[in-house]
Amino acid sequence: MRHYRKRVLITGGAGFIGSHLADRLIGAGHHVICADNFFTGARENIAHLLGNPFFEVLRHDVTFPLYVEVDEIYNLACPASPVHYQFDPVQTTKTSVAGAINMLGLAKRLRVPVLQASTSEVYGDPQIHPQTEEYWGNVNPIGPRACYDEGKRCAETLFFDYHRQHRVPIRVARIFNTYGPRMHPNDGRVVSNFIVQALAGEPITIYGDGSQTRSFCYVDDLVEGLIRFMEQPANEPGPLNIGNPAEFTIRELAEMTVRMTGSASSIEYRTLPQDDPKQRQPDIARMRALTGWAPTVPLEEGLARTIAHFRTRHFA
């Protein structure tokens, strides 16, 4: 039986997660259209795909409508680290909100499923632990992180309203901290920060006392989760948490990074930024029950792969 080659649109397809998703979908025999304005995406992330006849790149900003014919849409376009989303907070909010409207409009016209890459940041600085999808969150709507947190929350609102009002088949994935090869080296995220500082022999900077926790999901696990969610037959809209429930303190991550890089870096402590969450851990029971998905790559293994990538790409 002949394999059906789906045409899949990935907005933010040249980004860290988007490029790995493109790899997986092309590897599965599908045709990928990557739309990216290259604000945080990088051509080097997709350079290996440019000669593939089943891969296309469109330089496009999702705050403007896009007219293509596809079978599925993954809406990943948005700066996802504080350094980048606070650089132009108005544009960040527009990317989340206008981008959602444009991708939902496309999905409505084509009658195809659309997956929204939402975020654990919709929970803000959570007052329950671990975070379940029923929790409404504790978000400062006027703080310096609100452009991202509230932008993503509004995008979720739009997705569910299009689902109820126009019967658009949606999937809303709340993505928790993800790491791996192709992370932007200067994005300010804790894993890339620590690796770059350790490999450069610079002090490891921890904001706060290092007791705050995060749960780190390797990018291959995350991509597997996104694809399973998109393809599940129940047409479940979510929202579903996708992340690794294994919880580590920031200090533990710093010590592990120093040890695994063989660095002589010391650890320095700085003031904690405003509205920085103290705890972050996903409850993935709903995702596991719906799709059978659970992360398989432990932090030490994923960190070793990520360090190897940074050594060859940025410190060769």
**Phi then psi for 59, rounded to 5 degrees?**
-80, 110
Cα 156 from Cα 142, distance rounded (Å)? 18
CA dihedral 154, 143, 35, 215 (to 10 degrees): -90
CA 106 vs CA 2, 58, 61, 94, 312: distances in Å: 28, 16, 14, 17, 40
Instruction: Kindly state the DSSP code that residue 262 receives in the 8-state scheme.
Output: T
Looking at residue 226, its amino acid is L
Whether 148 is catalytic is yes
Q: Which of 148, 162, 179, 218 is catalytic?
A: 148
């452009």: which residue's tokens? 147
| DSSP string of 164-204, one letter each residue | HHH---EEEEEE--EE-TT--TTS--HHHHHHHHHHTTPPE
Catalytic residues: 148
